[in-house]
Every structure is written in C-alpha cells, then in structure tokens.
Amino acid sequence: MQRQRINWQLVFNLLIVIAVLLVPTWLWMRHNHQALMKRQQANMTPVIMIPGSSASIDRFNELVRSLNRVERHQHTILKVKVMNDGTIKYTGKLQSGDRFPIIVVGFQNNHDGYRNIKQQTELFNQAMRDLMNRYNFKTVRAFGHSNGGLIWTRWLELDYPDLQNQITVSNLMTVGTPYNFDETSVANRTQMLNDLIKNRSQLPKQLRVLVVIGTQSYTSDGLVPEASAQAAKYIFQKQVAAYSTVTVSGTGAQHSNLPQNKQIIRLMQEYLLHNPKS
C-alpha cells in the first residue's frame, strides 16, 4: 500500500490563513470585553470608607458583614493600604455587577494628631487617583469614622477641586468625627477647625452631608465630645447642597462601637446605598 505524502507547505499555508482569521477575532473579542468592563466599572458607585486613628483596613469587616446580612445584593469589598512611601497595596477585588461595592482605604501611618492627618490626606489623594485610573468609576459616596471623617473633609476641600471634572462625590457620612478634636467648647477652636472653616468654600456644592454623633453620655460618645462633632456645622452649613445631623444613643453608641451600631447600618442603607434623595 502506497503512503500518501503530506504536503507540508499546504499545511503551513492553511495554518497561516487560520491565524490571520482568528487573531483579529480574538483581538476584537478582547477589546469588546475590556470595553464592557470599563462600562460596568464606570456604572459603579463605590462607597469609600476611611477608618479612624489606630484602625486597620479590617476595621469595617463587621460593618460590611452586617450590611450584607440585611441587603438584598451582597457588597464586595476591596481593601487598600497606603504605605508611608506612597506604595499602595490592594486586597480583594470588585465584582462586576456590584452597583455599590465598598472600598476601605487605610494607612501605614494610622496615628492621631493634626500633623498625621495632613499626611494621611496626602496619601489618600494618591490612593484616590490610583483607584480612579484602575476602575474608571465616575461617582463615589464617602464614609468616615472618627478621624476618617477629617481626612475626607480635608481632601474634599484641598484635593477634590482638581478632580471634580473627573469624578463626583455625591454624599458624605461621618460618624463620631472630632471636628474640634477633644475640645468641649467651640469657643476653643483648634488650628484644624480654623483651617477647615477657612477652606470650606472649596467644598463641592452638590455634596450632601450627614454627620452622625454618638452620645454614650449627655456630652460625648466616651471619646469625642458632642460639641466637637457638632462643630461640623461651622464647616458645612450654607456651603453644600444639604447638611444634617443625627444623634445616636443607647446600646452601641460608644465611639469604637458606632460602626457596628444597628442605627448606623440603617443610616448607611438610606444615605449611601441604593439611590438616596437627601
């Protein structure tokens, strides 16, 4: 029986033809997939959360678990740690289709004090720019516990004006934030409060602000004086689209317990998730 000789030139030519046909198809599919991912990311409205001093990027784990127990749709969580040299470390990922994912931004330098808050604000600005480049979202909502609220406020005044044509911060919710540090009277204004008042005209006019104040006692949440949290009104009133305060008392109103407080969970649902109107 005579063997048929394989025409290797013909095989080679066929492979070239197949490659010529398949490569453009693969590139087209890849381009469409990337375009779809960008559209999905642009439709995301992440809730970006900053914890207070001494807290890590795991600070809001229980809060997120509590939200996911009561929410119809699960919220994915991305954790971002910014090192002192500006290096940014990511843990977790954002799932496509998650309309309101949660991003927690923390810092290697998580110490208290105005000098540290200034540095943390600068590092947060680097993280925000990197997040915007990575995920292409156009709108965010903001949450800050304790000094995290101070970082958000400073960033909105000092850094957001350079980015407002690229991204919209629609809602800010601060919880137990000491706008006048540990002062029990606004008559004794700290340098930080004076600076925040001085720069308040730079706040975005479309911003809606909710300040949540804990009252374990009649005068504080056990750490932050009520008068210090109330000093927010000197910063936000008549500067933003809406400003309101809510006082949380009873069980779980102590400063470190506020992020897990059931009332806080409900307020977050109403104010930061879904489509709040105010």
pLDDT digits 0-9 by tens, 116-148: 999 999 999 999 999 999 999 999 999 999 999
Pairing of strands 242-249, 208-215: parallel
Q: Residue 80: what pLDDT?
A: 98
CA distance 75 to 78: 10
Question: Side chain identity at 2, as an amino acid letter?
Answer: Q
Task: Specify the CATH number of the domain 45-271.
Answer: 3.40.50.1820
Q: What token pair was written down for 94? A: 């954002």
Encode pLDDT of 25-69 as tens digits: 655 555 444 433 444 445 799 999 999 999 999 999 999 999 999
Q: Residue 71: what pLDDT?
A: 87
Question: Cα–chain-centroid distance for residue 174?
Answer: 12
Query: Domains of the chain: which residue ranges?
Result: 1-42, 45-271
Question: Side chain identity at 217, as an amino acid letter?
Answer: S
CA distance 163 to 19: 44
Vertex 104, ends 100 and 108: CA angle to 5°? 165
Instruction: Give the confidence band of 276 by pLDDT, cuts at 50, 70, 90.
Output: low
Most confident of 64-73, 173-182, 209-218: 173-182
Radius of gyration of the chain (CA): 24
pLDDT greater than 70 at residue 275: no
